[in-house]
Chain A
Amino acid sequence: MSNDFVNLLERLVNNGVDFVIVGGFAGVAHGCTYVTQDIDICCDFSPANLLALQKAISDLDPVHRMTPNRKKLKLTDKTCVQFKNLYLDTENGQLDCLSFIDGLGDYNRAKQESELIEVEDMKIRVLSLDALIKTKRAMNRPQDKAAVLQLESIRKLRTETSEE
């Protein structure tokens, strides 16, 4: 397996983690040309799913990247319920796990507004183009504004292509 984001996703899929790719990397999947340094996923924050996620990346030295001492990821049934988001760093890159997306809602909503894509024979859920535009508009940071311009162009280009 290669040492990159695809490997990270492969691990999640192979361990049965329920997730949807959101954020900048979803934009990359849809065709955006920018480079992003992390993968954002919206996932089910049930203990079973978070423990599956932990198992998937356990040998990648996962740490909470926002804590002062970069605390090691050590989830248990009991501690899982404390988290609404997990901001992780691993040997294969940063992985941000969110239970809620601004402008959209929780994991169930993200799943409803997702589509299946195929990456190296893996089927992965990614936020739809329309939903991603909605969330980027809601975030409204400078990088989100630039992303919206790319995403809206992609939507127009897709329409033009399908009309040909």
Chain B
Amino acid sequence: MNNSRQMDPIQAATDYGIDVSMLADNLRRSVTDRIKRHQIALNTAKKLRKAKRL
């Protein structure tokens, strides 16, 4: 019982803390859209890294 639960990849990912609904959303997007959204996230992360503490 426990083995079959461990072998379900979606359950394993959920248990690890991965938001599988975000993966499902991504799969509905084109590759171009996925890469665009990744670039937006990366650019935001770069800006945050440069942010100064006030």
Do they bind each other? yes
Bound form: Cα–Cα A114–B54 in Å: 48
In the bound complex, do residue A153 and residue B10 qualify as a contact, i.e. CB atoms below 8 Å apart? yes
Q: Is the interface of A mostly helix, strand, loop or mixed?
A: helix
Q: Please measure, in the bound complex, the distance between the C-alpha atom of A120 and the C-alpha atom of B31, giving whole angstroms.
A: 9
Do the beta carbons of B9 and A153 come within 8 Å of each other?
A: yes
A154-B35 in contact (CB<8A): no
Question: Is A71 positioned at the interface, with any CB of B under 8 Å from its CB?
Answer: no
Of B16, B31, B36, most buried by chain A (CB within 10 Å of CB) is B31
Question: Which chain B positions have C-beta within 8 A of A32?
Answer: 23, 26
CB distance from A43 to the nearest CB of B (A): 19
Q: Which residue of B lies closest to A4 (CB)?
A: B39
Q: Is the interface of B mostly helix, strand, loop or mixed?
A: helix
For the side of the interface on B, what is the size category? 20 to 34
Does A66 belong to the interface (CB within 8 Å)? no
Rounded to whole Å, the gap between the CB of B4 and the closest CB of chain A is 14
Give the complex CA separation of A35 and B37 in angstroms.
Answer: 10
Q: Taking the nearest CB of chain A, how far is it from the CB of B11, in angstroms?
A: 9
A69 within 8 A of B: no
Which residue numbers of A lie inside 8 Å of B, CB to CB?
A: 4-6, 28-29, 31-33, 35-37, 117-120, 146, 149-150, 152-158, 161
Q: Are B31 and A150 in contact (CB under 8 A)?
A: no
Given known pairs A29-B34, A118-B32, the reply for A146 and B16 (CB within 8 Å) is: yes
B17 to chain A, nearest CB (A): 9
Q: Is the CB of B13 within 8 A of A28?
A: no
How far apart are B50's CB and chain A's nearest CB, in angstroms?
14
Cβ of A149 and Cβ of B27 under 8 Å apart?
no
Chain B contacts of A155 at CB under 8 A?
A: 9
Are A157's CB and B24's CB within 8 A? Answer: yes
A–B Cβ pairs within 8 angstroms, 15 of them:
A4-B42, A6-B36, A6-B39, A28-B34, A29-B34, A35-B41, A35-B42, A37-B42, A118-B31, A119-B31, A149-B18, A150-B18, A156-B9, A157-B23, A161-B27
In residues 13-49 of chain B, which contact A (Cβ within 8 Å)? Answer: 13, 16, 18-20, 22-24, 26-27, 29, 31-32, 34-36, 38-39, 41-43, 45
